[in-house]
Amino acid sequence: MGPLVINEIISENTNLFLAFLIGIGFGFVLESSGFSSSRKLAGVFYGYDTVVLKVFFTGAITCMLGLLFFSLFGWVDLGLVYVNPTFLTSAILGGIIMGAGFIIGGFCPGTSFCGAAIGKIDGIVFIVGLFLGVLIFGLGYDLWDELYMAKNLGSPKVSESLGMSDGLFAFILIIIALAMFTVAEWAEKKFPREEY
Amino acid sequence: MTETKELRKTRYLNPYVGGVLLGLVLLSANFIAGRGLGASGALKSTIVATMTTVAPDASERSGFVKEFRESHAGNPMKTWLVFEMLGVLVGGFISGALAGRLKFKVEHSPKITSRKRLILALTGGILFGFGSQLGRGCTSGSALSGMAVLSLGGFITMMAIFGTAFALAYFFRKNWI
């Protein structure tokens, strides 16, 4: 059955319309969870507000389990679902640069749009920065082309790389997430902050 | 009365409930479109569209535009992520409106000025924009969506983003706490 557009159950244009609706859901959930506030987002790095960690891991695990069950029931063909490719060098370097951008700017791209949507001027300025950053990458592409394409491992699954089944990996990830949530709840009590 | 009103203003969704809802949105994206959520891809589309409009000849020679065209035929703005990000603006606005959070303001720690906050936001944005291109996706497209489909690269990028931010948190603490 799924993915619907790949199996031609819905048309390309319907897919784009549904993308808009899915975006509304995405923006709504992010904003209602507090992701439009940079001080709430940055809280995870100081322990006073760990909403990022909780929402992020609960979200990833919910979808991961959903896909595994859908695949089990024959509702979705996991072979047709896009798995992000792994270019080792750029995945690490890009992540490091993004991490620096996160702690300096207080947003990530998706959350800055949520902030901008409710009038956060720092969110709007962050978006201006994002466009500049992408433009710099595009204009200087030849300078980092080699780095960008280095160590292409294809699209391996983390479970394959660790030599275990998807289900076992999912189970271990849930245990890790529960341990992190426990630490997060403890941190919020240990480093409390008043209204921010 | 005013107290309950104040409470309602700042009240957010329970983070675990928010997480499950986020997971369901992400699951529906995978089920419908066979791909996850994203944000920086829409920025890339916009920059490619701008480059090809402002300087058509030069940009057709650009490796960046060529690389984009290999995976996207047609109008660069008619892509899944562009429509999705327009939705994010609408969804964020609706949520903010319902919760009484619509307000133009620069949010910053009382220890720093608005001006400093905006300079930091611009700097962070530039870094995040650049890093999202090098890393083939940001917190949404690479880390969150990648993790949900068990992509090795998704987990590596997630650990690099959060690991770096934690490692640098001490040096930037005055901007936040």
Per-residue pLDDT of chain B (177 residues; tens, 9 = 90+): 444 545 544 689 999 999 999 999 999 999 999 999 999 999 999 999 999 999 999 988 999 999 999 888 889 999 999 999 999 999 999 999 999 999 999 999 999 999 999 999 999 999 999 999 999 999 999 999 999 999 999 999 999 999 999 999 999 999 998
Shortest distance, CA B65 to any CA of chain A (angstroms): 8
Which tokens belong to B126?
């530039």
**Rounded average pLDDT over A14-26:** 98
Measured CA to CA, the distance from residue A4 to residue B153 in angstroms comes to 25
pLDDT mean across residues, chain A: 96
**Apex B79 CA angle, A66 and A108, nearest 5:** 65
Interchain proximity B102–A104, CB inside 8 Å = no
From the number of C-beta atoms within 10 Å of its C-beta (0-12, 13-18, 19+), residue B89 rates as middle
d(CA B150, CA A187): 28
- Amino acid present at A111: T
Reading the block at residue A163, the tokens are: 């030599």
Contact A22 B37 (CB under 8 A): yes
Q: What are A133-192's pLDDT values in tens digits?
A: 999 999 999 999 999 999 999 999 999 999 999 999 999 999 999 999 999 999 999 988
**Predicted local distance difference test score (pLDDT) of residue B60:** 86
Question: Does any CB of chain A come closer than 8 Å to the CB of residue B127?
Answer: yes
The pLDDT value recorded for residue B10 is 61
Inter-chain CB proximity A118 and B86 less than 8 Å? no
Question: Which of B30, B117, B176 lies closest to A122 in CB terms?
Answer: B117
Position of tokens 């294809």? A154
Candidates A102, A143, A168, partner chain B, best to mutate (most B CBs within 10 A): A102
Partner-chain residue, chosen from A63, A91, A120, that has the shortest CB–CB distance to B135: A91
CB proximity list for B56: less than 8 A, separation 6 or greater: none
Is residue A101 within 8 Å of A17, Cβ to Cβ? Answer: no
Tell me the C-alpha distance between A96 and A89, whole Å: 11
Q: What is the pLDDT of residue B73?
A: 86
Asked if B58 has any chain A CB less than 8 Å from its own CB, the reply is: no
Q: Which two tokens stand for residue A45?
A: 């790095």
User: Inter-chain contact B92–A125, Cβ cutoff 8 Å?
Assistant: no
- Taking CA atoms, A174 is separated from A64, A130, A177, B151, in Å, by 10, 33, 5, 16
d(C-alpha A122, C-alpha A107), whole Å: 9
B141: closest chain A residue by CA: A84
CA A74 to CA A122: how far, in whole Å?
A: 45
Residue type at position B99: A
What is the pTM assigned to this prediction? 0.95
The answer, yes or no, to whether residue A196 has pLDDT greater than 70, is no
Cα–Cα distance, B131 to B39 (Å, whole number): 13
